A and B are shown apart, each in its own frame.
Chain A
């Protein structure tokens, strides 16, 4: 909110220099976002927090700084009303407006010019000049925070109603828009039709112009929630609705009309007038609100002792009325402080006047049982991949509408009801979109050699659980092993680089051929298992995704379901043998559709004596020699005994058994 410093000085004359005053306001919670010097004035823009409706006026701010300047604030002079015999109220819904006042002025000349000081102050506070009457109403609103509205008396048929709109009622509003009202819309109407959306905006028809000859000025307290709902519904925020929905002092409406009348009378000719007010008994609640507080709370909550005289003085300046009640304080809350409800609210009042920066920082020594996760798997895996050349990426959880239709069923996709844009309309159901999008972006930036990973969530609709959020650790590689290498030393990354990287992070993963994931290619796809449980997938993306992301470079992708992965178990030392290890190679010819796993699994499952390790060390094809569909595999075995040096015969016996197993099981032909 913009305020004029000159105006504020009418209430607090000895305000300090701009830079010091800025600090003072900020230290009270009235954060200054800018301060601009003009020819005659200084304009201070304050970021108001939503709880401080009482500060949306010059007097409100003056009151809040009054404890610093030790200056009691008094309201400007006004004309008091007497009870009138005339009545313009027909039906006032007290739920909508617990306190509703009007001033009817039967004849007035609105062709006069707005006084210069009013014009200047409106301008300083960012309001446009409209016409004399409207300008005066706005001026008083800026002065004390009470929004008011004037209807042209000649355009207003009959009496005033405060009610909910009827079906099919409309309002052509001051902003030039036509609003279709609903039965939830609170309105001010005459005998015929709505003339305003209560507290939000008036109608064009009954608006006041320079030709206006008589007026009805409304000054009310509207129930904040009701105004908020209707302002939100019409997406319409006005100076008036902004204040009403935060809360306007319910005891201020009569005074404000008196204040308006004082100014009007000074500058134009005024005929007969009368004042009407409708007040709910509930309004009394705001007048008599008081809080009982144990003075110890100030110290126990703030951590230092604040003298009771400081507390009492401060609260008095702010309009509270503190009284001693035995050991406690009974503090009456002024009607403009909507935000004060509990003792802690008063603690804050005292604390901000004392100055947050005047509290001594201390460290507590209480000890607490730790309930969180002590180890962070994802963080460990991330660090391991980084050491192997991966860059961590973080993408939006949102992806464009339609991007995942190829691989996720529509009913499972979670869409935002109010997306910020079409390209952030859905939540990702799989990480593959995020990862490929990042690859595509980097390829377009000529970053052709990629090793990336991301740890994040995927989101899927589930018929029973509603929503499933899953923690996924995913990534991709593309290009060459290390672009800084000499050309001769550069190798194109393959599926086996990816597999090797994953095994370096989690040595007990196993990989099996698979074809169940529709966003991965059928010919290069693996299911990743740990202890025989599925924990992830990897392989080359399906062609459709290459097309979707306009990717021409080959990519290998992986994803791990992080919550299904078991971290390293406690390791127990096993005695190591002091006898020599003996290596044997075996080369066999097998059918091409026999996988490496088939061979090693077959041997491992049988557990041969002394064999401590087995691996495939070579594989090659030679159509001329082996024929179509055959391949040569070299298997390396390591034998070792715990008790003695193995003899050739002992090993030969085992090798014979292994060879016959492979012959029988996989029709292997022994080549060496």
Chain B
């Protein structure tokens, strides 16, 4: 092979080494094998040489052309392979179809409460919201003339139909249809004619009721102290203090110390014998305890929410903050 051909090949090798993309290789290919390429030009010189010489030269030229082509193809493949192996992905681009919504913080709180209580054996029961005075008041030892009715500013839809002021009405219905013993919890919406930053005309309650033989005040404390600890995930300073509900005797209020202040979180007590008698449960045989807690209050404490109204405005920017909780 003529010497200048050998140097052409080594020159090509050098040039190919510098190639970074298929585009660079294509340029070189044009430079050597294109219509006016170096190798093509060499072929053009053939017609000027003699027959014998032409034979030799033709052989060498073909080798040159093949080698050039081989080298270029090889380089193209290399570049292609490198691209495949080290394909760079901008992982900081947005993810696609992120579809994660959120449960409402009230539902999350209800689920948390009911799952704790259900591990203590409380079964979930629900009921109607438009109640009559018997189930909402009278059966619960709150006669018409009782000052305790002031504690329940009631919405009426007709003379005897009202929006339940607590879920205790569900307890009455359950006791009437299931008899003792029973251990139930009643989550649901309740209504009171009251509206300011700390009161909403609609809110959520969960009440618990346990009626059985030999149920006493220490059992009530046991359930509630454990409940509060599980709900907040840590020991909280708790106090019980006497209070008044017509449907429990003795009655108590449970406060927890939160950021240095006592906050009322739930009311409770031993079921009043009149309530048990009203639902035909033998008070000589059975006793029970009951408690009722406000879901909003617990959700506010748990999630540091200061304005009750946030719960019902349903701003997606608020709701989305609870992603990932069930």
Binding site for B on A (CB under 8 A): 26-29, 31, 49-52, 224-225, 228-229, 245-246, 300-304, 342, 344-345, 347-348, 351-352, 356-357, 359-364, 366-373, 376, 379, 382-383, 385-398, 414-421, 424, 427, 438, 441-442, 445, 447, 450-452, 456-457, 459, 466-467, 469, 481-482, 484-486, 489
Q: B98 contacts the other chain (Cβ, under 8 Å)?
A: yes
Complex Cα gap A373–B186 (Å): 11
Complex Cα gap A457–B126 (Å): 12
Q: B252 contacts the other chain (Cβ, under 8 Å)?
A: yes
Complex Cα gap A285–B24 (Å): 113
CB distance from A667 to the nearest CB of B (A): 40
Which residue on B lies nearest to A349, using beta carbons?
B250
CB distance from B92 to the nearest CB of A (A): 12
Neighbour of A302 across the interface among B184, B216, B244, CB < 8 A = B216
Neighbour of A28 across the interface among B242, B270, B287, CB < 8 A = B242
Complex Cα gap A371–B179 (Å): 11
Given contacts A415-B157, A467-B128, 8 further A-B contacts (CB under 8 A): A300-B214, A301-B217, A366-B213, A368-B210, A371-B184, A398-B202, A482-B97, A489-B96
Q: List 18 A-B contacts (CB under 8 A).
A: A29-B241, A224-B145, A348-B250, A356-B252, A364-B215, A366-B212, A368-B181, A371-B174, A379-B107, A387-B100, A390-B101, A392-B102, A416-B163, A420-B193, A447-B316, A452-B316, A457-B189, A489-B96
Contact (Cβ within 8 A) B315 A361: no
Contact (Cβ within 8 A) B250 A352: yes
Contacts of B242 in A (CB 8 A): 27-29, 348, 351-352, 356
Neighbour of A393 across the interface among B157, B212, B251, B319, CB < 8 A = B319
Contact (Cβ within 8 A) B201 A420: yes
Q: B151 contacts the other chain (Cβ, under 8 Å)?
A: yes
Contact (Cβ within 8 A) B218 A420: no
Complex Cα gap A481–B241 (Å): 53
Q: B265 contacts the other chain (Cβ, under 8 Å)?
A: no
Contacts of B252 in A (CB 8 A): 356
State whether A368 and B93 are in contact (beta carbons under 8 Å apart), knowing that A359-B221, A394-B104, A396-B312 are contacts in the complex: no
Contact (Cβ within 8 A) A366 B181: yes
Contact (Cβ within 8 A) B273 A303: no
Name the interface residues of B55-112: CB closer than 8 Å to any CB of A: 93-104, 106-107, 111
Neighbour of A467 across the interface among B161, B191, B202, B253, CB < 8 A = B161
Which residue on A lies nearest to B283, using beta carbons?
A344
Complex Cα gap A196–B185 (Å): 49
Contact (Cβ within 8 A) B157 A397: no
Contacts of A486 in B (CB 8 A): 93-94, 96
Complex Cα gap A297–B161 (Å): 38
Contact (Cβ within 8 A) B221 A392: no
Contact (Cβ within 8 A) B243 A469: no
Contact (Cβ within 8 A) B129 A442: no
Complex Cα gap A31–B317 (Å): 39
Q: B249 contacts the other chain (Cβ, under 8 Å)?
A: yes
Q: B302 contacts the other chain (Cβ, under 8 Å)?
A: no
State whether A482 and B96 are in contact (beta carbons under 8 Å apart), knowing that A50-B244, A348-B251 are contacts in the complex: yes
Contact (Cβ within 8 A) B250 A482: no
Contacts of A417 in B (CB 8 A): 155-158
CB distance from A443 to the nearest CB of B (A): 10
Neighbour of B216 across the interface among A26, A49, A300, A390, CB < 8 A = A300
Contact (Cβ within 8 A) B314 A371: no
Contact (Cβ within 8 A) B107 A392: yes
Complex Cα gap A248–B165 (Å): 29
Contact (Cβ within 8 A) A441 B313: yes
Which residue on A lies nearest to B126, using beta carbons?
A373
Q: Mark B268-295, 1 if CB is under 8 A from A, else 0.
A: 0010111000000000000100000000
Q: B50 contacts the other chain (Cβ, under 8 Å)?
A: no
Name the interface residues of B175-193: CB closer than 8 Å to any CB of A: 178, 181-185, 189, 191, 193
Contact (Cβ within 8 A) A303 B216: yes
State whether A391 and B102 are in contact (beta carbons under 8 Å apart), knowing that A372-B125, A442-B316 are contacts in the complex: yes
Contacts of B102 in A (CB 8 A): 386, 391-392
Contacts of B314 in A (CB 8 A): 391, 393-395, 438, 441-442, 452
Contact (Cβ within 8 A) B315 A388: no
Contact (Cβ within 8 A) A484 B94: yes
Contacts of A441 in B (CB 8 A): 313-315
Q: B27 contacts the other chain (Cβ, under 8 Å)?
A: no
Which residue on B lies nearest to A447, using beta carbons?
B316
Contact (Cβ within 8 A) B148 A348: no
Neighbour of A389 across the interface among B93, B101, B315, CB < 8 A = B101
Neighbour of B311 across the interface among A29, A387, A394, CB < 8 A = A394
State whether A228 and B147 are in contact (beta carbons under 8 Å apart), knowing that A301-B216, A371-B184 are contacts in the complex: yes
Contacts of B40 in A (CB 8 A): none
Contact (Cβ within 8 A) B189 A397: yes
Complex Cα gap A51–B242 (Å): 12
Q: B304 contacts the other chain (Cβ, under 8 Å)?
A: no
Contacts of B122 in A (CB 8 A): 372
State whether A482 and B98 are in contact (beta carbons under 8 Å apart), knowing that A50-B148, A246-B147, A366-B212 are contacts in the complex: yes
CB distance from B270 to the nearest CB of A (A): 6
Contact (Cβ within 8 A) A389 B100: yes
Which residue on A lies nearest to B132, using beta carbons?
A466
CB distance from A226 to the nearest CB of B (A): 9
Contacts of A29 in B (CB 8 A): 241-244
Complex Cα gap A392–B316 (Å): 9
Neighbour of A482 across the interface among B99, B156, B215, CB < 8 A = B99
Complex Cα gap A660–B158 (Å): 64
Complex Cα gap A362–B317 (Å): 43
Contacts of A481 in B (CB 8 A): 97, 99
Contacts of B103 in A (CB 8 A): 382-383, 386, 392
CB distance from B209 to the nearest CB of A (A): 11
Which residue on B lies nearest to A364, using beta carbons?
B219
Q: B195 contacts the other chain (Cβ, under 8 Å)?
A: yes
Contact (Cβ within 8 A) B316 A379: no
With a 10 A CB-CB cut-off, give which of A344, A415, A427, A485 has the most chain B CB atoms: A344
Complex Cα gap A394–B202 (Å): 11
Contact (Cβ within 8 A) B128 A469: yes
Contact (Cβ within 8 A) B222 A364: yes
